[in-house]
Amino acid sequence: MKTFTVIAFLLVFATSCKLNPERDEKAIIVKELWSQSDTSYNNFRIPSLIVTSNNTLLAFAEGREGGDTGNIDILLKRSTDHGKTWESQTVVWDDGNNTCGNPCPVIDQNTGRIILFMTWNLGSDHESDIIRKKSQDTRVPYMTYSDDDGLTWSEPQNMLESCKDTSWGWYATGPGVGIQLTSAAFKGRLVIPCNNSYDAPDFEKTDGFGYGCHVLLSDDGGTSWRMSEMIEPQVNESQVVELSDGTLMMNMRSYNNKACRAFSLSTDGGETWSDIQHAAQLVEPVCQASIIHYGDYEGKNMYLFSNPAVPFSRTNMTIKTSFDDCSTWSNSKLIYEGPSAYSCLTRLNNDRIALFFECGEKSPYEKMMFVSLDPRELFTPGSVLVNFIKE
Three state DSSP letters for the chain: CCCCCHHHHHHHHHHCCCCCCCCCHHHEEEEEEEECCCCCCCEEEEEEEEECCCCCEEEEEEEECCCCCCCEEEEEEEECCCCCCCCCCEEEECCCCCEEEEEEEEECCCCCCEEEEEEEECCCCCHHHHHCCCCCCCCEEEEEEECCCCCCCCCCEECHHHHCCCCCCCEEECCCCCEECCCHHHCCCEEEEEEEEEECCCCHHHCCEEEEEEEEEECCCCCCCEECCCECCCEEEEEEEECCCCCEEEEEEECCCCCEEEEEEECCCCCCCCCCEEEEEEECCCCCCEEEEEEEECCEEEEEEEEECCCCCCEEEEEEEECCCCCCCCEEEEEEEEEEEEEEEEECCCCCEEEEEEECCCCCCCEEEEEEECHHHHHCCCCCECCCCCC
| pLDDT for res 3 | 41
| pLDDT for res 386 | 61
Burial of 276 (0-12, 13-18, 19+ CB in 10 A): buried
**18 inside domain:** no
**22 inside domain:** no
Q: pLDDT by residue (tens digit) across 360-389?
A: 999 999 999 999 999 999 999 888 876 543
**267 inside domain:** yes
Domain coverage including residue 337: 28-379
**110 inside domain:** yes
**255 inside domain:** yes
| 252 close to 263: Cβ distance less than 8 angstroms | yes
**20 inside domain:** no
Can you give the pTM of this predicted structure? Answer: 0.92
pLDDT along the chain (391 residues), means of 10: 39 42 63 93 97 98 94 98 97 98 98 98 95 95 98 98 96 97 97 96 85 98 98 97 98 96 98 98 97 97 98 96 97 96 97 97 96 95 66 30
Q: What is the CATH number of the domain that holds 239?
A: 2.120.10.10
| pLDDT for res 310 | 96
Q: Count up the domains in the chain and report the number.
A: 1
**256 inside domain:** yes
Q: pLDDT by residue (tens digit) across 263-301?
A: 999 999 999 999 999 999 999 999 999 999 999 999 999
**205 inside domain:** yes
